[in-house]
Structure formats: C-alpha cells, structure tokens
Amino acid sequence: MRTDVAALAVLVASIAAGSAAAQDAARGQTLFTNTRGATGKPVGNCVACHANTDALREMIRNRGGKPDDAVSVRRVLQRAIDGAQPGAAGAKAQYRGVFKAKDLDDLAAYIARAKLSALRGEGALALR
C-alpha cells in the first residue's frame, strides 16, 4: 500500500513538472502584447486593457487567484473567458474559441512572471 501511494506521488509530481515545463512565458508575452497578430483572429490585445501589472495582479487576487502561480492564473483566465467571472461576459468573451489550452498555459506563465518595466519607460510588461 505504501509503495502504491509513493508511486502515485511520484507520478503526480512528474506530471505537474512536465506541465510547468511546457509553459512558454516568452510566447505568452507575445500573446499578451500582440494577441491579434499571434492568433490571427480579430480580437483586442490583452495589453490594451491590462497594461498595468499591479492592477492585473490585484484583479487575479480579487477573483480568488494567486498572481505568482501560473496554474492559478490559468484557472482565473479560463473562468473569465468562459464568463464565470463578474464583468467577463463582454470583453473576455471575444477570446472564446480563440485561445487554445496551450495559449492559456503560456499567457498564465507570462502573467505569473511579468512585472512592469520601468527601464523602458513605456509601461510594457517584461519578464522577470
């Protein structure tokens, strides 16, 4: 029995590690800043409404997420796009059928690692 539990724990840990490794924050940055270009769909760019990192991270917290945890951020993103979050039915609905699972994984990885870039002075998000 103990062996089964230990084997299950190793399996779960390896799946989680593989999932986290599969996230591409650099691709997520492209999706965030050039959503229309990256997806080829007539949608708004995420950065147009969410350029302020502090406000975005607070929004994620207010919706029960942990802004530094990509898995948690992904859940918040998915719920917002699905319309399960207050205020999400309008603006976020445009992304239904546009963002695939990999897109959401990469966006979440980027958002969880992003910070406001003071060096460029342009208010753009940059990876930490």
pLDDT at 128 exceeding the cut of 60: no
Q: What is the pLDDT of residue 54?
A: 85
pLDDT for the residue numbered 91: 77
Phi-psi region of 121 (alpha: psi -120 to 50; beta: other; left: phi over 0): left
Write the pLDDT tens digit of every residue in 69-125. 999 999 999 998 887 665 555 678 889 899 999 999 999 999 999 864 333 344 445
Return the pLDDT at 53. 82
Q: What is the pTM of this model?
A: 0.72
Please tell me the predicted confidence (pLDDT) of residue 88.
54
Evaluate whether 36 touches 21 at the Cβ level (below 8 Å): no
Beta strand 114-116 with 125-127 is antiparallel
User: How many Å separate Cα 116 from the centre of its chain?
Assistant: 16
The CATH homologous superfamily for domain 23-127 is: Cytochrome c-like domain (1.10.760.10)
First to last CA, the chain: 43
pLDDT digits (tens, 9 = 90+) for 22-81: 789 999 999 999 999 999 999 999 999 888 888 898 999 999 999 999 999 999 999 988
How far apart CA 35 and CA 87 sit, in angstroms, is 20
b/e per residue 20-30 (b: at least 16 CB within 10 A): eeebbbebbbe
pLDDT value at residue 123: 47
Classify the C-alpha dihedral 124-27-67-98 as positive or negative.
positive
- Given a contact cutoff of 8 angstroms between Cβ atoms, the answer to whether 32 and 46 are in contact is yes
pLDDT in tens, 62-76: 999 999 999 999 999
